[in-house]
């Protein structure tokens, strides 16, 4: 591939860090909704399943559209979507408290998800081109950590914000995506100066004949059931047990900080181990920690330790999975990234709705236990089928 770096984004850690900060901003606004669910449940009389459905509307819209965007972005120049996505999704997410209509609320959430869908495939496709030489995994880890930290602190910061301000005043937070968009444009991260050769162009036949890639997608998707369920239902689970929304948000933030730490640590040591081995070990660690966490399910120190470590395992394999996916599908960086950071989470959020439906009958704690552990065990069995020798 050819790249004219004089007019495109420069190679180096400064731009990698900026992409990571843009990821921070994008994922922050993707995760302010969970802490608002108890507020909306009280305001509109939503049930567990309706809360899960509301969150699914956003995440499925944001997730499943990433794959076609990524597929097309590997062929054409769609760089303009990057700043547009950061701006529109963040501003819309900031406006969820401005309406008293559940219909308008759903429309705002849907549009915010729609606008955010363009970020991951475009930004993820840029990372290999701005990474210092032979530092692709580390650069991917830095990029991922930015999103994880933004996603992690969003519920807690939002809960603290709402301790002082009204939900309508969330709109003031729109200033952050506006400034981030300006920074991305100034550094020209939206400018694509590389194009694949015709012989390198990805098509559906190549995708569906790559069984190892499909097994990897299925495994990460099953893992996402646990991740997505905890993101949606931890605030509801803990507030239903009489724990304050701030404490519940702190539990969720602790898990998500664990995901950020896991992504960075495993990304740093990935070159020393087989990628598939790291993914499997991360699943095993998550299962062990989730057993203890769901037994406790309180705001004790042990619960905080277990949920942090579970988060470490849940997301720790993500940078490795992205790089493995990109190697299994050469010359398709945007599409591979969109599948790992988009499609798989769409699967997780859809299946999480069934947890909410079951919770309406048997209780949320029981429903989480019924879904999480079989999903993680099946994820291990599926990733075993991935042939890493095919990764170029």
Contacts by 360-363, CB closer than 8 A, 24 or more apart: 360/47, 360/48, 360/49
Residue of 148, 317, 160, 305 lying closest to 231 (CA atoms): 148
pLDDT along the chain (392 residues), means of 10: 56 89 90 80 79 76 82 80 91 87 86 86 84 78 86 82 86 92 88 60 74 93 90 83 80 86 82 86 95 89 94 86 86 82 83 86 90 93 86 56
Residue of 284, 36, 260 lying closest to 152 (CA atoms): 260
Number of alpha carbons in the 13 Å side-chain half-sphere of residue 98: 14
Q: What is the DSSP letter of 341?
A: I
Q: CA–CA separation, 266 vs 262, rounded Å?
A: 6
Structure tokens at 294: 């769901």
Would you say 125 and 74 are in contact if contact means Cβ atoms under 8 Å apart? Answer: yes
Residue 328 makes CB contacts below 8 A (sequence gap 6+) with 210, 212, 213, 216, 336, 390, 391, 392
What CA–CA distances, in Å, run from 312 to 19, 64, 76, 179?
22, 25, 36, 31
Q: CA–CA separation, 391 vs 388, rounded Å?
A: 5
Helix (H, G, I), strand (E, B) or coil at 189: coil
Neighbours of 124 (CB within 10 A): 29
State the pLDDT at residue 392.
Answer: 52
Q: CA–CA separation, 10 vs 157, rounded Å?
A: 33
Q: CA–CA separation, 302 vs 298, rounded Å?
A: 9
- To 5 degrees, how large is the angle CA 247–CA 108–CA 17? 65
Residue 44 makes CB contacts below 8 A (sequence gap 6+) with 102, 105
Alpha helices in 329-384 (DSSP H): 333-338, 344-362, 364-383
**Fold observed for domain 13-390:** Growth Hormone; Chain: A; (1.20.1250)
State the DSSP string of 270-299: GGGS-HHHHHHHHHHHHHHHHHHHHHH-SS
Q: CA–CA separation, 99 vs 105, rounded Å?
A: 6
Would you say 77 and 60 are in contact if contact means Cβ atoms under 8 Å apart? Answer: no
Residue 172 makes CB contacts below 8 A (sequence gap 6+) with 94, 165
Percent helix, percent strand, percent coil in the chain, to nearest 5: 80, 0, 20
Structure tokens at 352: 């999480």
The sign of the torsion formed by the CA atoms of 66, 55, 151, 285 equals negative
Residue of 234, 244, 323 lying closest to 33 (CA atoms): 234
Q: CA–CA separation, 232 vs 46, rounded Å?
A: 14
Q: CA–CA separation, 271 vs 273, rounded Å?
A: 6
Structure tokens at 295: 């037994």
State the pLDDT at residue 201.
Answer: 59
Structure tokens at 233: 């239902």
Q: CA–CA separation, 16 vs 83, rounded Å?
A: 15
Q: CA–CA separation, 240 vs 51, rounded Å?
A: 14
Neighbours of 209 (CB within 10 A): 9
């Amino acid at each position: 591939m050819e790249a004219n770096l004089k007019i495109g984004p420069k190679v180096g850690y400064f731009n990698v860090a900026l992409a990571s900060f843009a990821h921070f901003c994008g994922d922050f606004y993707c995760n302010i909704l969970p802490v608002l669910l108890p507020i909306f449940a009280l305001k509109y009389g939503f049930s567990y399943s309706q809360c899960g459905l509301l969150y699914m509307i956003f995440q499925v819209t944001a997730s499943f559209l990433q794959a076609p965007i990524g597929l097309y972005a590997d062929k054409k120049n769609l760089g303009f979507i990057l700043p547009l996505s950061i701006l529109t999704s963040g501003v819309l997410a900031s406006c969820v408290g401005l309406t008293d209509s559940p219909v308008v609320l759903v429309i705002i959430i849907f549009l915010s998800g729609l606008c955010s869908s363009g970020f991951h495939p475009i930004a993820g496709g840029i990372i290999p081109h701005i990474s210092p030489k032979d530092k692709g995994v580390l650069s991917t880890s830095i990029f991922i950590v930015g999103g994880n930290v933004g996603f992690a602190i969003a519920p807690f910061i939002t809960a603290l914000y709402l301790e002082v301000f009204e939900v309508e005043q969330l709109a003031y937070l729109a200033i952050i995506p506006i400034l981030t968009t300006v920074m991305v444009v100034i550094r020209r991260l939206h400018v694509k100066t590389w194009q694949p050769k015709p012989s390198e162009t990805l098509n559906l036949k190549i995708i569906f004949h790559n069984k190892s890639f499909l097994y990897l997608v299925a495994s990460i998707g099953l893992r996402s059931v646990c991740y997505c369920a905890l993101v949606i239902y931890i605030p509801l689970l803990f507030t239903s047990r009489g724990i304050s929304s701030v404490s519940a948000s702190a539990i969720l933030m602790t898990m998500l900080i664990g995901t950020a730490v896991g992504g960075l640590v495993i990304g740093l040591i990935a070159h020393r181990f087989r990628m598939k081995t790291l993914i499997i070990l991360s699943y095993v660690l998550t299962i062990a920690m989730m057993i203890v966490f769901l037994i406790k399910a309180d705001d004790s120190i042990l619960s905080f330790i277990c949920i942090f470590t579970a988060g470490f395992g849940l997301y720790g394999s993500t940078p490795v999975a992205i790089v493995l996916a990109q190697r299994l599908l050469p010359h398709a960086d945007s599409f591979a990234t969109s599948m790992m950071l988009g499609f798989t989470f769409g699967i997780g959020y859809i299946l999480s709705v069934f947890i909410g439906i079951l919770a309406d009958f048997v209780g949320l704690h029981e429903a989480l236990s019924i879904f999480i552990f079989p999903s993680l065990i099946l994820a291990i069995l599926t990733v075993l089928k991935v042939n890493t020798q095919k990764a170029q």
